[in-house]
Amino acid sequence: MLEVAFFDAKSYDRRSFESATNADQVGWRFHEFRLSQETAVLAQGANAVCVFVNDKLDRACLTTLAGFGIRLVALRCAGFNNVDLVAAEELGVSVVRVPAYSPHAVAEHAVGLLLTLNRKIHRAYNRVREHNFALNGLVGFDIAGKTIGIIGTGKIGKITAQIFRGFAANVVAYDPFPSLDWAKENQIHYGSLVELLAKSDVISLHVPLTAETRHMFSEDAFRQMKRGVFIVNTSRGKLIQTKALIDALKSGQVGGVALDVYEEEEGIFFEDHSEEILQDEILSRLLTFPNVLITSHQAFLTEEALREISRVTIENLLNFATQSPFLPGTIVHQ
Ligand code: NAI
C-alpha cells in the first residue's frame, strides 16, 4: 500500500480524504504540523508527501525527502510557489497538484468579501447582536455601474468577472494572455494594467505569485489607482507590499481592502492564536483599520472544493504508484 505522510492536516482535510473513494488504497500518516526542513524527518518510510500552501519545500527539505527515497510531492492545492521546482527536478522528485478544484469557491468568496466590506455587513452583524439598530457609518455603494478591474483572467478571474457582470458592473480585465472570445461573450473589456489601475473602482487580484507578480501592488501601483479604490486579494499575499498598502489606507488613497491572503501569513493563518499576543506588527496594524476585512485563506473552503481536492490528489497518488509516469520536477495537470 502507498504510504503518504500528510502534513498540515486539519480536521476537514482528514474528513474529506478518509471518506474519499479509493482512500482505502492509501496508508495515511496525518501530521498536524507543516512540512519544512525541520519536520521532513517525519516523512521517513513514506512513499510520498501530501502538502498544502504553507508547507515549505525548499531545497533543504526536498533533499531530506529525496534522501528517504521519496519521489513524489502531492500538493493538495493549485499554487506551487512554496516548492523549489528546480531543486525537485535535480533531486528526481516529481510534483503534482490540483490545478482546479472549485474556481467558483474562490470567486464567490472574493465577491462575498467585497459585499461584506462595502455594505459593512460584518459591522452591522455585531451592532444588531448588541441591540444597536442605528445605521450611522454603514453607508456603502452600489456595485451596479461601477468599474471592476480583474487582474488575471484564468479560471477564478473569469468567474469573478462574470459574477460582477451579473451585478451590472462594467468589467475591465488585464492578462498577458487575454481570452478574447470569452471577453466578447461577456462584454468584458481588456485593457493595459495602467488603464485598469486608473479606471477601476474595485480591483480584484487573480494572478499566481511569480517573480514578476510579487509586489505588483506597491507604492507606485497604489499611486496610479483611483482615490478611494477598493482592493480584493484572494490570490497570494505577496502580490501586495503590505507596508505600502498601510500607507495608502492611511492617506485614503485606498478606500477599503478585503484580504483572504497576507504577505506573511505562514505560521499565522490556519491556526488558532487567540490565546497569544500577535507578534506581527504589520498584520496588527492592518487589523486596526475599520475598512480592512481579513479572512484566513478560506476562499477555497467549500464542501465541493474539498471533495474535488481529495479526489484528484488521491488519483494523482495512485497514478504515480501504479505507473510512475511523471517526469521529475514536473507539474502534472490532471
Ligand atoms: P489560472 O492559472 O487559471 O489563472 C491565472 C491567470 O493569471 C492566467 O490567465 C495568467 O495568464 C494570468 N497572469 C499571469 N501573470 C500575470 C500578470 N503578471 N498579470 C496579469 N495576469 C497574469 O489560476 P486560477 O486557478 O485562476 O488561480 C489564480 C490564483 O488564485 C492562484 O494562483 C492562487 O494563487 C489563488 N488561489 C487562492 C485560493 C484561496 O483559497 N485563497 C485557492 C485557489 C487559488
Is the minimum distance from the CB of 158 to ligand 1 under 6 angstroms? no
d(CA 91, CA 302): 35
| Domains parsed from the chain with CATH numbers | 2-101+302-333 (3.40.50.720), 103-294 (3.40.50.720)
Report the nearest-CA residue for atom 31 of ligand 1.
208
Nine cell digits for residue 83: 516548492
- Tens-place pLDDT, residues 198-229: 999 999 999 999 999 999 999 999 999 999 99
pTM of the model: 0.91
Is the minimum distance from the CB of 311 to ligand 1 under 6 angstroms? no
Nine cell digits for residue 11: 480536521
User: Looking at residue 79, what is its pLDDT?
Assistant: 85
∠151-117-108 over CA atoms, to 5°? 55
Is the minimum distance from the CB of 235 to ligand 1 under 6 angstroms? yes
89 catalytic residue (yes or no)? no
pLDDT at 71 over 80: yes
pLDDT above 70: percentage of residues in the chain: 97
Q: Which residue has the cell 477601476?
A: 200
User: Looking at residue 328, what is its pLDDT?
Assistant: 52
Which stretch of 253-267, 269-283, 314-328 has the lowest confidence by average pLDDT?
Answer: 314-328
Candidate of 156, 158, 172, 218 to mutate for ligand 1, largest count of ligand atoms within 8 Å of Cβ: 156
Residue 165: partners with Cβ closer than 8 Å, 6 or more residues away:
171, 186, 187, 188
Q: Tell me the average pLDDT across 22-46.
A: 95
